[in-house]
Amino acid sequence: MAMLRFVLGDQLSRAISSLRDLGKGDVVLVCEVADETRYVRHHKRKIAFLFAAMRHFAEDLRAEGVTVDYVALDDAASTGSFTEELRRAVQRHAPEAIVVTEPGEWRVRQMMEDWREELDVPVEIRPDDRFLCSHERFRNWADGQKQLRMEYFYREMRKATGYLMEGDHPAGGKWNYDHSNREPLKRGIAPPDRPTYAPDAITRQVLDLVAGRFGNHFGSLDDFDYPVSRADALHYLDWFVAEALPEFGTYQDAMRQGAPLLFHSHVSALINCGLIDPREACDRAEAAFRDGKAPLNAVEGFIRQIIGWREFIRGVYWREMPGYESSNALSADRPLPDFFWTGETDLNCLRQCFREVQASAYNHHIQRLMVIGNFCLLCGFDPRQVQEWYLVVYHDAYEWVEMPNVVGMILYADDGLFATKPYAASANYIDKMSDYCGTCRYSPKAKTGEGACPFNLLYWDFIARNARRLKTNPRMNRTYATLERMDEAKVRTIRAEAKAFLDSLQATGNY
């Protein structure tokens, strides 16, 4: 019985459930559709990465002898939508049934459910078992918790997978080595040389297509050298485990101007689109620990990001949707300023992060959370605008991973569904973990007055204006006790200077 197997652009895995029982005569449909490039105006580099990866994946399938029906963005007959391309493919191939793997995003899942009504062919939607925790398993775990806490979920995942376990106990006697992973980068320590992957003919065609079609989108295509094939992705993963993983743990929170990747894996986009399976990444990291080639704090931190945080965030997304995207517990409504798109700001920490993401579609997690995200939280930017920005600019961003991180972790907009307190911080944290402040016009030491870092002003303004909601949070007791001891005149000065800074932000909405 001939089947039409529809594979989405973030399902580029031969082991995806929709392809697992691929039979002779089956056709695999892969589509570059315009709708998916413009529901938000994605970074040019993200579009190029995914289209190049999709085309290389199709070539790998063809080399295996699989029949692939590939619809490129610039095909003259392309309709630009998933539904219409699937309808056209059904007309071309007259399959007995359509087989798909469930998507990562709610809106696409609803679209798939509609296919069952709109198309005259049975549609089978299979689970995405690239993830280690099913929707049902996460809901069962979450429904049994008083509060959703990633740490406890992570421990259950360690037990279930066996990663870094010694019988019933965690390797080394501790579940979490995060306390060992917070060191600033010491002078004289340099990250290893990272491999690059020159665009081949397929990728060059994609780069030309994206430059022509999406020239007005955010970001740069210059020096595109990221892996876009399965073979290159595995080579990149092996390089990370051998060369960068040993120091990743200790310095994973560090930031250095001019060194955006440091010891980070930079494989999140490869995992999220399917070129690397999360189990592969964890297996290689654990093997490095077992073989004495990488320390426990580094390997545990890396594995925690994958089987802990990544799985947890996905579980939260599907449990809370629909409606989670509208969360706004702190009533934040300030528009996102223009410099999020232009990078033109006197705050050097933000300028460095914005320039890096403009060039590469990537920042590491501390830049996302404690620099950009912290600034968004302190300023009270509209959560929907912040969600869109994060979804636009990062090449590893999909709604299932972006939304809970922004709504819950960055903005505390869900009123602490899974974060125990807002991740608000003054300039001191950025100064400690980076060299950004040394070349900034603002001083992280100055609390008020000329040259005072806006993070210091905004921190206490945030604490004061959200007192009604946050003062009863047990983890905020010391902070509010400090605020109450402050001289009233000093508080008024801080808040007046914070207001002046916020009022100076330009938000034209033209970006």
Same domain, 290 and 369: no
- In the chain, the N- to C-terminal Cα span, in Å, equals 50
Lookup result for tokens 């990562």: 104
Q: What's the average model confidence in pLDDT over 460-487? A: 96
Is the link from the previous residue into 184 a cis peptide, with omega within 30 of 0?
A: no
Asked, for residue 461, whether it belongs to a domain, the answer is yes
pTM of the prediction? 0.96
pLDDT at 511 over 80: no
pLDDT at 1 over 70: no
**Burial class, 64, CB count within 10 angstroms (exposed 0-12 / middle 13-18 / buried 19+):** exposed
Question: How far, CA to CA in Å, does 124 sit from each of 4, 90, 96?
Answer: 10, 14, 11
Q: Cβ distance 425 to 245 under 8 Å?
A: no
pLDDT of res. 351 = 98
The residue among 463, 437, 458, 434 whose CA lies nearest residue 447 is 458
Q: What's the average model confidence in pLDDT over 37-48? A: 95
Q: What's the average model confidence in pLDDT over 476-488? A: 96
Distance of CA 34 to the CA centre of its chain: 22
pLDDT of res. 507 = 87
Same domain, 348 and 267: no
Asked, for residue 508, whether it belongs to a domain, the answer is no
- Element holding 99 (H helix, E strand): strand 97-101
Same domain, 164 and 290: yes
The residue out of 73, 92, 126 marking a domain boundary is: 126
Measured distance CA(511)–CA(507) in Å, rounded:
9
Same domain, 290 and 164: yes
Lookup result for tokens 């250095």: 256
Same domain, 250 and 271: yes
What CATH number is given to the structural domain containing 48? 3.40.50.620
Q: What's the average model confidence in pLDDT over 342-350? A: 97
DSSP letter, residue 175: S
Residue 28 backbone phi and psi in degrees, to 5: -100, 125
Measured distance CA(223)–CA(360) in Å, rounded:
9
pLDDT, tens digit (0-9, with 9 covering 90-100), for 412-466 = 999 999 999 999 999 999 999 999 999 999 999 999 999 999 999 999 999 999 9
Average pLDDT, the chain: 97
pLDDT, tens digit (0-9, with 9 covering 90-100), for 273-300 = 999 999 999 999 999 999 999 999 999 9
**CA angle, residues 277, 358, 267, in degrees to nearest 5:** 15
Same domain, 256 and 182: yes
Residue 169: strand pairing partners? 166
pLDDT of res. 176 = 95
Q: Cβ distance 121 to 6 under 8 Å?
A: no
**Burial class, 136, CB count within 10 angstroms (exposed 0-12 / middle 13-18 / buried 19+):** exposed
Measured distance CA(388)–CA(386) in Å, rounded:
5
Same domain, 57 and 151: no
Assign 3-class secondary structure to 396-458. Answer: CCCHHHHHHHHHHHHCCCCCCCCCCCCCCCCHHHHHHHCCHHHHCCCECCCCCCCCECHHHHH
pLDDT confidence bin for 381, thresholds 50/70/90: very high
Range of the domain at 23: 3-126
Structural domains of the chain, count = 3
